[in-house]
Amino acid sequence: MEPSGFARWMVVVVELGVAFSLLLLVLLVVVVLVTWLVDRNQTANSVLRNFPVIGHFRYWFLHLGEFFRQYLYSSDREEMPFNRAQRTWVYRAAKNADNTNAFGSSRDLRGEGVPFFVNAPFPDLGMDHVEPVPVTIGPYAREPYSHAPFFNISAMSFGALSAPAVRALSRGAAKAGIWMDTGEGGLAPYHLEGGCDIVFEIGTAKYGVRTPEGKLDDDKLLAICAHTQVKMVSIKLGQGAKPGMGGLLPGAKVTAEIAAIRGIPVGEDSQSPNRHLDIGNVHELLDSVEHIRELTGKPTGFKAVFGGVEWIAEMCDEIARRGMRSAPDFIIVDGSEGGTGAAPQTLMEGVGLPLHEALPAVLDMLVIKGLRERVKVICSGKCITAYDVAWALSIGADFVNSARGFMLALGCIQSLQCNRNTCPTGITTQNPKLQRGLVVGDKSERVYHYATNVMHEVGIIAHSCGVSEPRQLNRRHCRVVGEDGLSIPLEKLYPNPVAAKIAEPAG
């Protein structure tokens, strides 16, 4: 029996539907393959380069999140350790993209602890920002170091960071004219590759400059400081994420190259001592500073997390006995909120003074003891935006270091996998497959743009406050919101220590 016209028509429709479905499937496969090839070979985005096709879901979710967030998810100002608004600011600065906002800020200026700056009524005409001038560190060293940029790369070791990350930071730092701190992992060729200024850090394990017994090898230190790029030496007493505990590099990250640079076994966990074997008090600290400065000719100082400043007072008194030359050339104040790698949660969250307490305390003690001009103060601890840096300068810091800010500039997405060797953007992993996502040429430009844009916008704040140089910002220029929702100037929160001492009643 012949099928009816309607039945034949239905068969044709079904056949067309199947053909169309097959065509769509073929097109979908072609689109996926082309997207995979494009993603895998592009150089601008680490996530898509390491995770072709599926990496796009992250951006689709981010886009949809803008609409869903106000109903279901956290706001732009709620996440930790860095909220979405902060990360977005860094990403835009690193890409040299427009960083303006419309319809007002989402930052709540009534929240307790929020800092903001007071503008001058009549700022200078003809400019919108001011530039920094050089500051000299180590006037008694054979090779004093003069450096103008106030925003620099904080200590991050090769090993904790991948080789492509260190190379990108080195190249970007050189282009921006800023320094790069090696961290405690020794000096790698990648630090020198870009031609930037280097601060060489000596950690408690003395990686790169150690004897087999873990003591300082003067010959190895001299060989490192023979590089003209090495401008200063920093003795690491402690770091923000884990006060009182040495650094830990998981064995999965200890490749043959890293082991050779550090002088440790391949593939084994590398745990630094909780302090230097030869530094157990302020007298031995000053002895070490003096020895290294005389040996290398470089300005020498130390980095510490502070639980109090009584020992700084003791150190200053010892300097008064020995003479001004014996003082450290700089102190790096690392706030307890710092930290880029692996650390016990207890230490990370519960030990050490945060930067907003430690920085003014150290500065004020140096003022009281008459050493403020002699000892330069560098700070680090979650200063990633222009107003974070301007706050630190207002407190009195000479320089501000940032680690995680520059990691974000490299493309970090705050996946919180720094300690697992599984960083999806290739920054904190020794896995070559994941490192492939970090293209040095592209990321070094982002490092350069981030550094210069931060300093430019701090210069805008300084100009608005009516000063001619960013380091002229002081505690009168910045106010902090109190618990009643009203702000007070930093000079009242942290009063001039000399004036306060003079005002004390006799007896």
- Residue 67 shares a structural domain with residue 156: no
Structure confidence by residue, pLDDT tens digits, 268-315: 887 788 889 899 999 999 999 999 999 999 999 999 999 889 999 999
Whether residue 139 is predicted with pLDDT greater than 50 in this model: the reply is yes
DSSP string, 182-216: --TT---HHHHHT--EEEEEE-TT-TTSB-TTS-B
Whether residue 384 is predicted with pLDDT greater than 80 in this model: the reply is yes
Q: Which two tokens stand for residue 97?
A: 């993209």
**Rounded Cα distance, 266 and 54, in Å:** 35
- Residue 55 shares a structural domain with residue 142: no
104 located within any domain: no
**Which segment of 186-190, 267-271, 295-299, 450-454 scores lowest on mean pLDDT?**
267-271
- Residue 58 shares a structural domain with residue 182: no
Instruction: Kindly provide the b/e burial profile for residues 293-302, where b requires at least 16 CB atoms within 10 angstroms of the residue's own CB.
Output: bebbbbbbbb
Instruction: Give the up-direction half-sphere exposure of residue 488: CA atoms within 13 A in the CB hemisphere.
Output: 11
Structure confidence by residue, pLDDT tens digits, 23-35: 888 888 888 888 8
**Rounded Cα distance, 158 and 21, in Å:** 52
The residue from 24, 48, 73 where one domain ends is 73
Structure confidence by residue, pLDDT tens digits, 163-183: 999 999 999 999 999 999 999
- Cβ atoms 410, 140 nearer than 8 A: no
Instruction: Give the up-direction half-sphere exposure of residue 6: CA atoms within 13 A in the CB hemisphere.
Output: 0
Q: How many domains does the chain have?
A: 2
363 located within any domain: yes
Handedness of CA 451, 454, 459, 462 (dihedral sign): negative
Structure confidence by residue, pLDDT tens digits, 50-109: 888 888 877 777 666 655 654 455 666 666 677 777 888 888 998 988 877 776 677 777
- Residue 33 shares a structural domain with residue 143: no
Phi and psi angles of residue 400, each rounded to the nearest 5 degrees, phi first: -125, 125
pLDDT at 126: 78
267 located within any domain: yes
Q: Which long-range contacts (CB under 8 A, 24 or more apart) does 420-424 make?
A: 421/250, 421/252, 421/253, 423/162, 424/46, 424/47, 424/50, 424/51
Phi-psi region of 126 (alpha: psi -120 to 50; beta: other; left: phi over 0): left
- Residue 345 shares a structural domain with residue 474: yes
Q: Which two tokens stand for residue 445?
A: 């430009």
Number of residues written out for the chain: 507
Structure confidence by residue, pLDDT tens digits, 417-448: 777 778 888 888 888 898 898 899 999 999 99
- Residue 398 shares a structural domain with residue 313: yes
- Residue 333 shares a structural domain with residue 478: yes
60 located within any domain: yes
Element spanning 347, H or E: helix 345-350
Q: Which two tokens stand for residue 390?
A: 């301007």
- Residue 318 shares a structural domain with residue 439: yes
- Residue 314 shares a structural domain with residue 453: yes
pLDDT at 63: 64
- Residue 51 shares a structural domain with residue 142: no
* % of the chain at pLDDT higher than 70: 88
Give whichever of 327-341, 413-427, 464-478 has the largest mean pLDDT: 464-478
264 located within any domain: yes
pLDDT at 134: 97
The residue from 25, 44, 73 where one domain ends is 73
292 located within any domain: yes
- Residue 46 shares a structural domain with residue 154: no
The confidence band for 5, taking pLDDT boundaries of 50, 70 and 90, is low
354 located within any domain: yes
Q: Average pLDDT over the chain, rounded to whole? A: 87
pLDDT at 471: 97
The confidence band for 10, taking pLDDT boundaries of 50, 70 and 90, is confident
**Rounded Cα distance, 163 and 154, in Å:** 16
Arithmetic mean of pLDDT, 236-260: 77
142 located within any domain: yes
The residue from 54, 73, 92 where one domain ends is 73
The confidence band for 502, taking pLDDT boundaries of 50, 70 and 90, is very low
Top pLDDT among 29 and 319 is at 319
Which residue range(s) make up the domain with 342? Answer: 135-501
Peptide bond between residue 189 and the one before it cis (omega within 30 degrees of 0): no
Q: How far is C-alpha 281 from the chain's CA centre?
A: 29
- Residue 30 shares a structural domain with residue 168: no
Tell me the CATH number at 357. 3.20.20.70
